[in-house]
Chain A
Amino acid sequence: MTYILDITRQQSTDSQPYVQSIPFETDDPAATVAFAMRQINASPDCKDINGETVTPISWECGCLQRKCGACAMVISGRPMLACDAVLSRVARGGRVSIAPLKKFPLVKDLTVDRSAMMEALKSAEVWLKAHASAEERNEGFVFDASRCLQCGCCLEVCPNFYAGGEFSGTAAALPMARLMAALPERDRELEKSYLRHFYNGCGKSLACRNICPAGIDVDSLLVNSNAAAVWKRRFGGRGR
């Protein structure tokens, strides 16, 4: 099977983007976009459909198994991890469009600078101010919230998020949920930070619900965080 990868290329923020269409042949039904781009980059003689040589494609790649979040990009119109994008599933009529995340400053081709996400967590003071000691009912929440990849897919679909704004999106809310679930006592400062950096700016579009490549149960974590920060209830429970 030969797929055509329509990859958005851009040398730098100052240059014009263009789409380069690159054929990729594979018999492996499990082949992913990440696998294809690694193969293309490892072939110095690779040519696009017009016979032009393909210069190395800039993109971030790490674990190749959905655990590090490096390769988040927009594939066939949906933000996802390139290592999770099986070609046969994401192709439309044998073609796959591949573009960088749009919510972050472009570096080159498919590489973007997501440091705004880490800066947002710092601004929101997301760290433990006491020793953790989760109640038993919250252990699963700590585990699930800890799985956040900081890949940015949930921010890409969010109508309220823009890099550098006060609203930091679900990618900041989940680490805050981890802390709320892990602490034996309520942390009022953290709850205020949650309101300021997440709840108040969230338009409740729920666009982030089913986009997480790690499959985190975003609903549960946000519901419990809201209960704690907005309704002054204990995280994971009913009592105040």
Chain B
Amino acid sequence: MGAINIIGAGLAGLSAAVTLAERGVPCRLISLQPSERAQSVLAEGGINAALDTMGEQDSPALHFEDTVKGGCDLADPNAVAALTEHAPETVRWLESLGVPFARSGGEIALRSFGGQRKKRTAYAQSSTGKMLMTALIDEARKYEAQGLIRRYSHHELIRLVISGGECRGAHVRDRITGLCAELPGRVILASGGMNGMFPSRTTGTVMNSGDVTATAFSQGVLLSSPEMIQFHPTTVGIPGKRCLVSEAARGEGGRLFIAKATGEKWYFMEEKYPELGNLSPRDVVSREMYFARRQEDTAGEVCLDMTGLSDDIWKNRLSDLREELIRYTGIDPKNTPVPVHEGIHYFMGGIDVDIRHRTNIPGLYAAGECCGQYHGANRLGGNSMLGAVYGGRTAAETAAEGFSPSQESEPAFAPLDDEPLLTPARESFNERLAVILTEALGIVRRADVLESAIGKVRALSEEAVCQREKLRCALALAMLRGALERRESRGAHYREDFPQRSDDFRRTTVARFEANDAVISFREIPERRAEQ
């Protein structure tokens, strides 16, 4: 019958699958683990849409402005306009699937989130991602029973099938049987962010290895903005990872301070940013925390003070967050401020796509965190789930254009021994790579450190014992070279040697794979069209 292949069954992949199924287009939903295990279930604070239910005269136009400004003018304005315009209907669709959004006066309630001038974030306590996923998993099941969505859980992408310059399928392996098959058809990549480049140092899951992005990159797929890595201001360390403290904590009134040597609490965000204060965009807050710690007259960690929040907020909006903090830090945030630290949280960059989520390879699309769309140099909280759902639906609509069913039967899985990409990268290798990247791609970056890191990664690449290790090095070089070439400071990318924003770099970084390395160029950002 033919089908469209979706790699990844998180929020973007599920949204794409359901959208295709609604149109009667069959798909294969291919993922390492079932949807219940996807990183999307970790998403906490909410999803943005100018529903204007709080009497604040919000509008998609204001959502657009905040998103473009928060992204430091690096996002494609036409894509952002489409996203923000369709946000209300996207959230209404999720509501109809039974997502238990918090309500106020019978309507969906909205909370404040960073970098936004209006209450715009729909939420379900601090477990919004899990709620969205459960609803979408149930909806997808309906189409699974009809045969429109065929699940290939516990399957991994080996490589894309690209011939004649066009993507014609996905070569996958069943991780239980070890058998492989080439699944024909167009491919939507929805494989998540590149957390695996920074093992144990991010808020994400260990399954988002970045391997799909690295493989696609090596096959000629362009990347955009690979240097744009978001540090979330409020994370706490737990064994083996960073644990997110939702931005909702500040949206509901949490305040950041650091102790001065005199013992006085310095609420630095409120002092320096009177308008948005603690709810400034994440790049701003993370950087200020970094600098506040380094001031000579301060001591210790930055603390998140939620002791002023009402009982109602703790009970109805943040009960899960409180329970989690008590469990992981031993601190009850209702009574005591919690020490927090910036942690890698989101990759704004990734697979380069246009406004319809097409990559540079015909027949190949990408959506969700694996692609570099909507968020520019800094993503606003609440826009990731929106980008994943809307992006997944848009990619599906585009991929479905001109789809024609075929009479081919489903390909058989068979053993495949002689395939270099079957060997996984060694964890010890990944760790060595991560040490280099962590030093060079932190909150503050500098040319000499980046140059040194490029040298180290090239040397490490020589020690690679398998193809996946080589490709991870190439992906690392795309990040490092993007950061080196961008000789300015913008959003999440702060260069100590070029601390100002430069109009010359109001362009998208584009990385192309060449000889196990990355070549960087810059592309103009399109002007906003009058009509979408």
Interface residues in chain A, defined as those with a beta carbon under 8 Å from any beta carbon in chain B:
28, 30-32, 34-35, 38, 41-44, 60-65, 67-70, 107, 113-115, 118, 121-122, 125-128, 131-132, 134, 136, 139, 142-143, 146-150, 175, 178-179, 182
Contact = CB atoms under 8 A, between A and B. Distances in A.
B167 to A, nearest CB: 28
B428 A68 contact: no
B98 A118 contact: no
A185 to B, nearest CB: 14
B124 A68 contact: no
A68 B204 CA distance: 11
Interface of B: 33-34, 36-39, 41-42, 95-100, 103, 124-125, 127, 130-131, 134-135, 138-139, 141-142, 144-145, 151, 153-154, 176, 205-207, 238-241, 243, 324, 328, 426-428, 431
A139 B130 contact: no
B69 to A, nearest CB: 32
Contacts of B41: 63, 67-68
B165 to A, nearest CB: 36
B103 A136 contact: yes
A136 B138 CA distance: 21
A93 to B, nearest CB: 22
B238 A65 contact: yes
9 contacts: A30-B238, A30-B239, A38-B240, A60-B37, A62-B207, A70-B33, A70-B37, A132-B96, A182-B100
Given A65-B42, A143-B125, 7 more contacts: A63-B42, A65-B243, A118-B34, A131-B96, A178-B134, A182-B98, A182-B100
A44 B39 contact: no
B138 A128 contact: yes
Contacts of A143: 100, 124-125, 127, 131
Contacts of B134: 146-148, 175, 178
A118 B324 CA distance: 28
A122 B307 CA distance: 45
B130 A63 contact: no
Contact of A149 (B36, B100, B205, B427): B36
Contacts of B95: 132
Contacts of B36: 68-69, 149-150
Contacts of A132: 95-99, 135
B37 A69 contact: yes
B428 A179 contact: no
Given A107-B176, A146-B131, A149-B36, A175 B206 contact: no
Contacts of B328: 30, 65
Contacts of B431: 42
Contacts of B33: 60, 62, 68, 70
Nearest to A111: B176
Contact of B138 (A32, A34, A61, A175): A175
Given A62-B207, A68-B42, A68-B205, A128 B124 contact: no
The A interface is mostly helix, strand or loop, or mixed, namely loop
Contacts of B238: 30, 64-65
Q: By CB atoms of chain B within 10 A, which of A30, A41, A64, A128 has the most?
A: A64
A186 to B, nearest CB: 15
Contacts of A41: 427
Contacts of B144: 122
Given A69-B36, A127-B142, A132-B98, A44 B428 contact: yes
Contacts of B34: 114-115, 118, 150
A175 B99 CA distance: 13
A61 B98 contact: no
Nearest to A127: B142
B130 A44 contact: no
Contacts of B153: 115, 118
A157 to B, nearest CB: 19
Contacts of B139: 127-128
Nearest to A132: B98
Contact of B141 (A60, A115, A127, A182): A127
Q: By CB atoms of chain A within 10 A, which of B124, B135, B151, B239 has the most?
A: B239
Contacts of A122: 141, 144-145
Contacts of A43: 428
Contacts of A60: 33, 37
A125 B145 contact: yes
Contacts of B142: 127-128
A50 to B, nearest CB: 23
Contacts of A42: 427-428, 431
A162 to B, nearest CB: 20
A146 B135 contact: yes
Q: By CB atoms of chain B within 10 A, which of A113, A143, A148 has the most?
A: A143
Given A127-B138, A127-B142, A132-B95, A35 B42 contact: no
Contact of A62 (B37, B145, B239, B426): B37
Nearest to A30: B239
Nearest to A121: B141
Contacts of B138: 126-128, 175, 178-179
Contacts of A68: 33, 36-38, 41-42, 205
A190 B125 CA distance: 28
B240 A64 contact: yes
A157 B238 CA distance: 29
B433 to A, nearest CB: 13
Contacts of B176: 107, 113
A128 B456 CA distance: 54
Nearest to A86: B239
A85 B428 CA distance: 25
A62 B206 contact: yes
Contacts of A114: 34
Closest 3 CB pairs of A and B: A132-B98, A35-B239, A182-B98
A127 B149 CA distance: 14
B22 to A, nearest CB: 13
A126 B207 CA distance: 27
A31 to B, nearest CB: 5
A134 B38 CA distance: 26
A34 B238 CA distance: 12
Contacts of B145: 122, 125, 127
Contacts of B426: 44
Nearest to A35: B239
A63 B103 contact: no
A140 B186 CA distance: 41
Contacts of A30: 238-239, 328
Contacts of A34: 239-240
Contact of A118 (B39, B99, B151): B151
A63 B473 CA distance: 24
B206 A134 contact: no
Q: By CB atoms of chain A within 10 A, which of B103, B125, B130 has the most?
A: B130
A178 B98 CA distance: 8
B97 A61 contact: no
